[in-house]
């Protein structure tokens, strides 16, 4: 995977260049300190991936990314920035990742692995379809922002949403991720694919495997996760009827 690093800070470019050396299947093709230089090298080097800063003199990274993604067969873009406030406008140009500085080699490797899954034509199609919507209603991906950066979760991979204290946790095949969204909002958006089982949990219908007795009540079992959300007495009849329809 050929990579072009675009950042106005020489030390930041050098750090990313060193980290790329330890990631299998990646080759540093070049470096650019501003948007104009990046566009020139984009034409000559034809990179598969841009590691792109946002705050730069002249044209910033968001403006540059908009230009690039409107080109035929654009490269993947991973934003590497010191500011989390750009996350929402950044995802309007459909990047493959959004990392907060200082970027660790583990975070970079994970973001690159995600970007590597799609070919250039596939990325172009996804960008053309933005904002992303699901075949069954709601977004295809959910954005989670943390100190480690921005993570995109495929909704089709989420087994359940569970409310804990002030947060909602999405449980998926890769583990769990804290979201800054309410359970009520998620149920309203994804109600065609997720069903309420408790005031603190909604679960993905396609991953339900059964009901089990537990502590005088029931829990719902799900494939691909050890989580077993409780089922309220009021909703037990609904879940049993759903299981009969699925059988």
Per-residue pLDDT in tens (0 to 9) along the chain, 247 residues: 899 999 999 999 999 999 999 999 899 999 999 999 999 999 889 899 999 999 998 889 889 988 888 777 788 899 998 877 776 666 666 567 888 889 999 999 988 887 776 545 444 544 444 444 444 567 888 888 766 677 788 899 999 999 988 889 999 998 999 998 899 999 999 988 999 999 999 999 999 999 999 888 999 999 999 999 999 999 998 899 888 887 6
CATH of the domain at 188: 2.40.50.1020
In this structure, is residue 135 part of a structural domain? no
What pLDDT does residue 235 have? 92
pLDDT value at residue 6: 97
**pLDDT score for 94:** 56
Distance CA 42, CA 85 (A): 27
What's the burial of 45, exposed, middle or buried (CB within 10 Å: 0-12/13-18/19+)? middle
235 and 125 together in one domain: no
In a domain, 134, yes or no: no
- 7 and 124 in one domain? yes
CA distance linking residue 90 with residue 241, whole number of Å: 43
Question: If DSSP codes are grouped into helix, strand and coil, which group holds residue 198?
Answer: strand
Looking at the 3D structure of the chain, how many domains does it have? 2
Tell me the pTM: 0.52
Residue where one domain finishes, among candidates 129, 151, 181:
129
Q: Is residue 136 part of a domain?
A: no
Note whether 24 and 123 are same-domain residues.
yes
Residue where a domain stops, chosen among 85, 107, 129? 129
* pLDDT score recorded for residue 72: 75
DSSP state of 170: E
Domain ranges, residue 168: 141-246
Same structural domain, 32 and 66: yes
Q: Do 120 and 159 reside in the same domain of the chain?
A: no
Measured from the Cβ of residue 102, the count of other Cβ atoms closer than 10 Å reads 10
SS3 content of the chain, % helix, strand, coil (to 5): 35, 30, 30
pLDDT of residue 4: 96
């Amino acid at each position: 995977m050929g990579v072009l690093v675009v950042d106005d800070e020489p030390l930041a470019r050098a750090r990313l260049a060193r980290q790329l050396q330890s990631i299998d299947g990646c080759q540093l093709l070049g470096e650019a300190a501003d948007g104009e230089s990046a566009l020139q090298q984009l034409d000559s080097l034809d990179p598969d991936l841009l590691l792109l800063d946002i705050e730069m003199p002249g044209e910033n990274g968001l403006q540059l990314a908009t230009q690039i993604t409107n080109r035929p067969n654009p490269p993947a873009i991973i934003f590497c920035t010191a500011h989390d406030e750009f996350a929402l406008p950044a995802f309007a140009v459909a990047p493959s990742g959004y990392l907060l500085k200082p970027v660790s080699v583990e975070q970079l490797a994970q973001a690159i692995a995600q970007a590597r899954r799609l070919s250039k034509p596939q990325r172009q199609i996804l960008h053309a379809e933005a904002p992303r919507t699901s075949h069954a209603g709601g977004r295809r991906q959910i954005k989670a922002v943390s100190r480690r950066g921005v993570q995109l979760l495929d909704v089709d991979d989420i087994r359940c949403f569970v409310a804990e204290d002030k947060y909602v946790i999405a449980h998926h095949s890769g583990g769990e991720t804290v979201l800054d969204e309410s359970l009520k909002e998620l149920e309203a958006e994804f109600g065609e694919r997720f069903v309420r089982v408790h005031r603190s949990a909604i679960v993905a219908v396609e991953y339900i495997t059964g009901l089990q007795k537990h502590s005088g009540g029931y829990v719902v079992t799900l494939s691909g996760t050890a989580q077993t959300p409780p089922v309220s007495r009021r909703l037990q009849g609904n879940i049993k009827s759903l299981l009969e329809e699925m059988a």
